[in-house]
Structures are given as C-alpha cells and as structure tokens.
C-alpha cells in the first residue's frame, strides 16, 4: 500500500527530489507523509498528516534522502505515526510498507532492553532492531577485523568477511529475518552514507542513474515502490524480488540474498514507459485523463493486439476447468470474461474473487487453468490465489498492466495490457483494455481471431464522440440532478451485469455515494425495496435480446418513483434522462462504461471529493 522513495547521489536538494517522487506515489496511500535527509552525521526529518501539499522547508542539502507516503494499518493517522521512524542513536531513518505481524512481542523486547519507542506503529520496531543489529555487527567486527574501520569501502567480499561496504544492507537483512508478515523496509544510515532495503512482499524497484550499463552510474541511485516515480530520473530499473536485499551508494548498487547474504547479479531492465505518459498534461486529474485515453488505447489494441489475444485464447482453450480471478475492478473484468467466453466461444469458466479463491484452489487439478486479472500485478490477494493454484498444479495466466510486477513473474503466460501508467486510484482504461483483449481472445477461441477488431474500433469511435456530440452535457446534467443523493443503483443483465457492478464501483469509490450494481433479475427478489421517490436508477439497455427486459425493469422502478436514467441507443418514455450509447452489439460493452466513468468524475467535482485520491483507498492493495 504505502509509497517509498529514496535517493543517494551527489549532494543536492534531495528533500525536494524525494518529495516529487512521493507525489508520484501518493496514490499508494495518503494518510501522512515524511522525508528524512542525512547531513553532517545527523538525520533531519519532516513529517505531516494528510496529502503532500508543499515540499518541506528547512531540510539541509544532502546526498541521501528517504521518504514515505502512508496508508495507515497499525497506529492512528498522526504526525507521530508518520514515517520515517528513527532509532535511539539518531543516525538511522527507516520506512516500511506492509504489516509486521509479531510487532507486539518485538516491541516488548525492545522496551525491556531500554529502547524508547515514540509511535504506535508496528514499523518503528524495525528501526530499533536495526540499531541493535548494527551495534551487534560492530561488536563482531571489532573482534574479527579490528584492523579495518567499521564502515570501510573496499568491498571485503573477496576476503571472506561480509561485505562491510553493504553493512546497512546486512543489518537490514538480519532484521528482516525477525519479522513475520509481508514487509518491505528501507533505511538510511548517516554514518556510512548507505541506503538499503529488504523486500518480502510489497514492491520495490531500484532506478539506476544512466551510467555505464553494468551497475556503474552517473553517481545517482533511486529506490521506489513503483516505476512511475522513477521515470523522471531513469528508465534503467532493477526489480527487487522477494527474499532480496539491496544496498545503494552513489557509486553503485549491490544485491544480496536475504537468506544467505550472498551477492546476486543485477538484472537491469529498460522500461518503455515515458515520463510524459505518467504526467497530467492538459488534464485536471488523472481520472479524467485516463478516461479520455480509452479510444486511442482501443484503437491500438485493435491494430496490434490480435496476436497476444490469440496466444491467450490458446491458454483459455486448455482442456481442464477454467477459473478467472481478481479483486475490485479486475474481478469485474474476470466476471465479464466468463460471459464473453461462454457467449462467443461456448467456453465455460468460473469467476471468483481472489480473496475468496482459497477453497476453489483446493479443488484444482493439474490441467486446470487459472487466469488472474490485475492492473498493478501486486495485489496480495491475487498473488495468494495464483500461488495456491500453482500448488495444486494448475496452469497460470494473467492480464497485467504494470511491467515487471510480481504477478508477471508468478505465471506461465502474461498478457501485458500496455495501457501505460494508470495513476488515478480509480481503474478505468485498464478495465477497458482487459475487456478488449477478452473480446479478441473469445473471437480467437471461436476460430476468428479478428472477429472483434471492428468491435473495438466502433467502441473507440463512440467513446471519442462523447466529447463533442453533446452527450457529455447530458452526463453533467444528470450529475447535477443527483449530486445530493446518497443512494443509487445500476442495473444490468447478462454481460451487462458485471458492467453494472463496475459502474457502481466507480461512483462509490470517488463520490462516497452508496452506489450498488445489481443483476436486473434480482430487482424483484429484494432490491426494489430500496427504491423510493427520486432514487437514481441507471438501466444498461443495449439494443438486442435484453432491451425489452431492461425497459420492463425500468418501468418497475419508475412505478416506485425512481429517477430513471437509460444507457443505450434508443430513447424511451420511461427514462427521466437518457445517455445515448450508439455502439451496437458487444461494442456496447466497451462504450457504455465511459459515460458512467465521466458521471463519477463529474459527481466527484460537484461533491468536492478528490477524483484521483479518494479517502481510505490506495491504488494497489499489498496487505491482506
């Protein structure tokens, strides 16, 4: 969940650089933030509650800094619980992403050994354990190698002693072994000028300053929870894996095995995403930008995606049972996949929330296949689900947006969505990309790989026209009409049902209205009891076999005084408002959601909520 950013390099305004890095990570958590810089043997820290507004003033120039933006798990949202946390010596600063499940007993031990802990967090225990490990190593050193200074820089690896150059990394490695749960820790030590991190769960990426290509650099190294924050500095990245420790110094980066301490080779990857792609450009919010990027994205997938979709189709066509899984918006894509594969290719499958997948995994057998959907590729419930499926011999596939993410390394087949950075907490364009690839794959599974290329193009044209053909004004009028309502419903049928769930989720996430999506058929089995005069009810009414059914449903809620908004090609008297969607057939599936994504955006602006960083949420959920 939280965001970590670190820098070591030539002395500069490291605090502002780390601040800028945290701004790009803020969608990972925005309860509080903090930055520590090392200068003249001391740690200087600035921390505050809430979102990052302005760079901290008064922190000295420095060549090393570490920052954190928090999604609170243990300890209230206070300045005292904000990271970085220090130790008793004042020479360390530590940030943490994850949950230290055994922190209570560790804390009791530290207090008993005389440490003073200043926060309620689990994270702070790691800072004091680090202090102890460094002291223990110094004592060991003084016995074994009194001839060498404690923090010498000649490597030492060759002569059998642990690499004292990466002393902080070694100490952090030992701390990591004492912690239970999924955790990523990063720390700086002002006495040795070292920045180090250990990964077991939450994502960590090293950015290598553009140097000589074998770990040599231009004297700058960066550390971040995801690449979006690194693109402004470098595109040469090292994805730190679970069970690895990394040591960063201006002159270089070293990687070690967290179990043995043995050095590991650096696997530097060049990423294609550009810093500009991650920028707002002419838009006010990332949500707005990413909604309007969908037509271009659909056209690109129509042009270039058939081969990847055909490869996915081969996987989907494997003999055994087929399971689709994900969380939140990604689960809605999985559920849509279930309908599309059945409709288009007669391929049965099951869609299950990843956090509910445990019992399903236990029933899997070799030959069965599981496809995971995840924008970030880091959602812990999804990683748990695929690991459980692997343990039962299932073949694993995934549709992922973030290159190099953990999920891409856990599965047999990865389809990269290629939607570019998705910065708003609300997932929009990657949902559309998942549906586009599912449509192409369903066509390929039915023996016509290009069957839905025109479908994607038609949807792209319909979405693009929204901006200029007056429908955006209709969306805004509807937003104004319902902005003060607290409850609303979205109804869909068959493949329109997961779409209704997704539309309601978008509105829920960013407006804090109680929006519910339902299968229209469930209405008379209870839901209709919630409808009262003025209750907004959105009915997804594509042309074709479901249109009459949906119009009847609209009439039933209208009879209870609902404010009925029709989403479809044809106007009807039962509607109080009609948002036309001209794209027909399965193109409706892709074209009907963007008007509702825009409605969520307009409602957020009217209700004064933050379209990109809604309360209590984070972009990727890396804790259980």
Q: Which residues bind ligand AGP (CB under 6 A)?
A: 327-330, 374-376, 379, 382, 425-427, 509, 620-621
> 119 or 379, CB closer to ligand AGP?
379
| Dihedral angle sign, alpha carbons of residues 328, 330, 336, 337 | negative
**CB of 541 or CB of 622, closer to ligand AGP:** 622
252-257 sheet: strands from edge to edge = 85-86, 92-98, 183-189, 194-200, 244-249, 252-257, 263-264
Residues 175 and 131: their CA atoms lie apart, in Å, by 10
Angle at 541 between CA 485 and CA 343, to 5 degrees: 125
| 48 closest CA partner among 58, 39, 38, 56 | 56
Q: Which residue is nearest to ligand AGP (CB)?
A: 328
> Quick one: 108 exposed, middle or buried, by C-beta within 10 A (0-12, 13-18, 19+)?
exposed
For ligand AGP, which is the closer residue by CB, 221 or 374?
374
Residue 289 is a catalytic residue: no
Q: Which of 199, 429, 558, 619 is catalytic?
A: 619
Between 200 and 329, CB nearer to ligand AGP:
329
> Could you count the other beta carbons within 10 Å of the beta carbon of residue 434?
28
> For residues 233 and 506, which CB has a smaller minimum distance to ligand AGP in the complex?
506
Q: How many helices (H) and strands (E) does the chain have?
A: 17, 25
Q: Are 375 and 430 in contact (CB under 8 A)?
A: yes
Q: Which of 2, 289, 434, 506 is catalytic?
A: 2
Closer by beta carbon to ligand AGP, 127 or else 510: 510
Please tell me the distance from the alpha carbon of residue 35 to that of residue 56, in angstroms, as a whole number: 8
What minimum distance in Å lies between the beta carbon of 107 and ligand AGP? 30
| First-residue to last-residue Cα distance in the chain | 10
Decide whether 14 or 399 has the Cβ nearer to ligand AGP: 399
Residue 290 CA to residue 332 CA, distance in Å, equals 18
Q: Is there a catalytic annotation at residue 51?
A: no
Residue 347's H or E segment, with its range, is: none
Query: What are 411's two structure tokens?
Result: 């599965």
Measured at the alpha carbon of residue 277, what is the angle toward residues 439 and 17, in degrees to the nearest 5? 140
Catalytic residues: 2, 619
């Amino acid at each position: 969940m939280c965001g970590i950013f670190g820098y070591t390099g030539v002395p500069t305004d490291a605090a502002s650089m780390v601040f800028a890095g945290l701004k790009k990570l803020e969608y990972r958590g925005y309860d509080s933030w903090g930055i520590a810089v090392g200068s003249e043997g001391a740690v200087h820290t600035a921390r505050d509650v809430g979102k990052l507004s302005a760079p901290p003033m008064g922190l000295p120039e420095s060549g090393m800094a570490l920052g954190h933006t928090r999604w609170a798990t243990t300890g209230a949202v206070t300045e005292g619980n904000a990271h970085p946390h220090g130790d008793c010596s004042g020479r360390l600063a530590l940030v943490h992403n994850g949950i230290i499940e055994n922190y209570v007993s560790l804390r009791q031990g530290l207090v008993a050994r005389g440490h003073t802990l200043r926060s309620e967090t689990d994270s702070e225990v790691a800072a004091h354990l680090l202090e102890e490990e460094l002291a223990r190593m110094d004592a060991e050193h003084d016995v074994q190698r009194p001839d060498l200074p404690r923090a010498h820089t000649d490597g030492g690896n060759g002569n059998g002693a642990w690499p004292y150059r990466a002393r902080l990394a070694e100490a952090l490695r030992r701390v990591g072994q004492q912690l239970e749960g999924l955790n990523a820790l990063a720390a700086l030590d002002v006495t040795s000028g070292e920045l180090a991190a250990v990964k077991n769960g939450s994502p960590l990426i090293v950015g290598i300053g553009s140097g000589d290509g074998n770990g040599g650099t231009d004297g700058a190294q960066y550390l971040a929870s995801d690449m979006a924050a690194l693109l402004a500095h470098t595109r040469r990245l090292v994805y730190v894996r679970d069970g690895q420790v990394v040591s960063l110094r201006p002159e270089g980066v070293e990687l070690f095995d967290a179990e043995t301490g043995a050095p590991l080779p650096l696997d530097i990857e060049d990423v294609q995403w550009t810093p500009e792609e991650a920028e707002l450009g002419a838009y006010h919010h990332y949500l707005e930008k990413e909604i309007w990027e969908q037509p271009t994205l659909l056209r690109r997938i129509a042009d270039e995606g058939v081969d990847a979709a055909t490869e996915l189709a081969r996987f989907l066509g494997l003999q055994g049972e087929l399971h689709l899984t994900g969380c939140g918006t990604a689960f809605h894509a999985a559920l849509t996949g279930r309908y599309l594969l059945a409709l288009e290719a007669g391929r049965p499958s099951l869609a299950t929330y990843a956090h509910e997948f445990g019992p399903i995994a236990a029933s899997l057998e070799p030959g069965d296949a599981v496809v995971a959907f995840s924008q970030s590729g880091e959602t812990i419930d999804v990683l748990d689900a695929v690991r459980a499926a692997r343990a039962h011999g299932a073949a694993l596939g995934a549709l992922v947006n973030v290159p190099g993410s953990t999920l891409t390394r856990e599965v047999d087949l990865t389809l990269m969505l290629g939607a570019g950075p998705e910065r708003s907490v609300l997932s929009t364009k990657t949902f559309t990309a998942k549906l586009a690839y599912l449509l192409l794959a369903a066509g390929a599974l039915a023996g016509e790989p290009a069957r839905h290329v025109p479908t994607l193009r038609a949807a792209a044209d319909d979405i693009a026209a929204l901006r200029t053909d007056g429908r955006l004004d209709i969306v805004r009028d509807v937003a104004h009409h319902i902005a003060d309502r607290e409850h609303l419903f979205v109804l869909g049928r068959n493949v329109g049902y997961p779409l209704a769930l997704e539309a309601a989720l978008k509105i829920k996430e960013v407006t804090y209205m109680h929006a519910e999506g339902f299968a229209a058929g469930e209405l008379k089995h209870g839901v209709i009891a919630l409808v009262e005069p003025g209750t907004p009810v959105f009915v997804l009414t594509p042309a074709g076999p479901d249109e009459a059914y949906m119009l009847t449903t609209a009439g039933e809620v209208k009879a209870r005084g609902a404010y009925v908004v029709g989403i479809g090609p044809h106007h009807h008297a039962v509607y109080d408002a009609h948002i036309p969607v001209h794209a027909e057939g399965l193109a409706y599936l892709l074209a009907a959601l963007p008007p509702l994504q825009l409605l969520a955006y307009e409602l957020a602006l009217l209700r004064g909520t933050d379209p990109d960083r809604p309360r209590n949420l984070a972009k990727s959920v890396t804790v259980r």
